[in-house]
Every structure is written in structure tokens, then in C-alpha cells.
Chains A and B, each alone.
Chain A
Amino acid sequence: DVQLLESGGGLVQPGGSLRLSCAASGFTFENYAMTWVRQAPGKGLQWVASISGGGEGIYHADSVKGRFTISRDNSKNTLFLQMNSLRGDDTAIYFCAKGTYSSSSFDYWGQGTLVTVSS
């Protein structure tokens, strides 16, 4: 079975940094694009960043560009999100999601990790 397990969330002060991880299992990790999506409390889904299977294609939302960096380690089946210069509006549950082979949809999602930015 496909499993995605996020970790690394927590409480951080404004201006601080966090590194989220997403451990993947149950599929050939290097063959699939991966994505981070976030959801602020009581709000909708917001795409954050995506990375191709080999890591050569990287895309970030304008709201996080220059502050967040998506990466992956295919030898460890793990996706990362390095978050710097965190702001209050970055407070959200962060989900990792698996891409599909022939579609731009996300067929499996983790349960998410909560990031709270507050002093």
C-alpha cells in the first residue's frame, strides 16, 4: 500500500525556519512527481511546490518563492520542504501528495503536519 508520512512540523517564531519531511513507501518513489499542499486553519487547499521524479523540474508558488525550497532524496524515498523566513500566514497543515504517471492529479496524500508560526 502507498503510504506518505509527514514529519517536522511544530511551533516556530516569525522569521524562523523548519524542514518538513515526507517518507514514502509502497511505490517506486523516483518515478513520480511529488507535491506539497497546505491548508490554513478553516481555509481551502493551497498548492505550495512540486518536484519531478528525478528532481530536475522544481516549481514553487509565488507566495513562498525565495523562502521555501522543495527537494527530494530518491535513495531514501523522502521528500523535503525547507521553510525559511516563516510568517504568520504560513501557519497551516502541510500535506505531501503523490503525482500520477499520466495526469497532473494527486492520487495519494499524507495526513499532514501542522506548522504554527507565532511568537
Chain B
Amino acid sequence: SYVLTQPPSVSVAPGKTARLTCGGSDIGAKEVHWYQQKPGQAPLLVVYDDTDRPSGIPERFSGSNSGNTATLTISRVEAGDEADYYCQVWDNNSDHDVFGGGTKLTVL
């Protein structure tokens, strides 16, 4: 089955840029989606189809995807961005959705 690999944790100072990665075999050929989840809350879609943002999501959130790595970039990080972030793809070989293990973003 398809596997997505995310680093367990990333730390960044306020105002700096956070780059969260999601690794998978030839992931560049798939559409990658990113979710933010704060404690006790449901996940929130922040980037879909590699690079698109749902309405209401700040432009500070952006995505890219190429080769074996997809990246969620959060610019000008704020304290309120502290959360767990998950990547997700649809694996059409198995007809399964797949989530990465998640990255805990800590704002220092």
C-alpha cells in the first residue's frame, strides 16, 4: 500500500517560514491535500490539489509538489498556526485514501 512520510515535528520562530514535507513514491504524480488540526478540533483543509487554497485560508499557506516530495509552506508564521498538519492523497492503484503520519508544528 502507498505510504506517506512526514517528519514528526517542526519548530519555527514567529514571523519565519515553516516548510512541512510529505514524502511518497512519485508523489508528484498525485494530487496532495493538507489539513490543519488543532487540539480537540476536527481537521481543516488548508491546501488542496497541491497548490490551491479553500476560501478563508490565508495566502500565507501555500503548497508545492514534485518528484517524491510535497511541501506545505507557511510564511510569516503566527502563534495560531501551531497545530498538527497532515498530508493526504488518493491512491488510485489501491482505491484507498492515505494520510501521512502528521507533523506537529511548534511556534517557538
Please report A residues at the B interface, Cβ cutoff 8 Å.
Answer: 35, 37, 44-47, 50, 59, 61-62, 95, 97, 100, 103-107, 109-112
Contact = CB atoms under 8 A, between A and B. Distances in A.
Contacts of B88: 45, 47, 104-106
Contacts, number: 64
A45 B33 contact: no
Given A44-B99, A103-B31, A103-B33, A95 B43 contact: yes
Contacts of A103: 31, 33, 48-49
A112 B86 contact: no
A35 B42 CA distance: 14
A105 B96 contact: no
Contacts of A105: 31, 33, 45, 48-49, 88
Interface size class of B (residues with CB under 8 A): 20 to 34
Interface in B50-95: 54, 84, 86, 88-90, 95
Interface in B5-52: 31, 33, 35, 37, 41-45, 48-49
A104 B45 CA distance: 12
A61 B98 CA distance: 9
Given A44-B84, A47-B97, A106-B88, 9 more contacts: A37-B99, A45-B43, A45-B86, A46-B99, A59-B97, A62-B1, A95-B43, A105-B45, A107-B48
B81 to A, nearest CB: 18
Contacts of B97: 35, 47, 50, 59, 104
Given A35-B97, A45-B86, A47-B97, A107 B54 contact: yes
| B42, B45, B54, B84, most chain A CB atoms within 10 A | B42
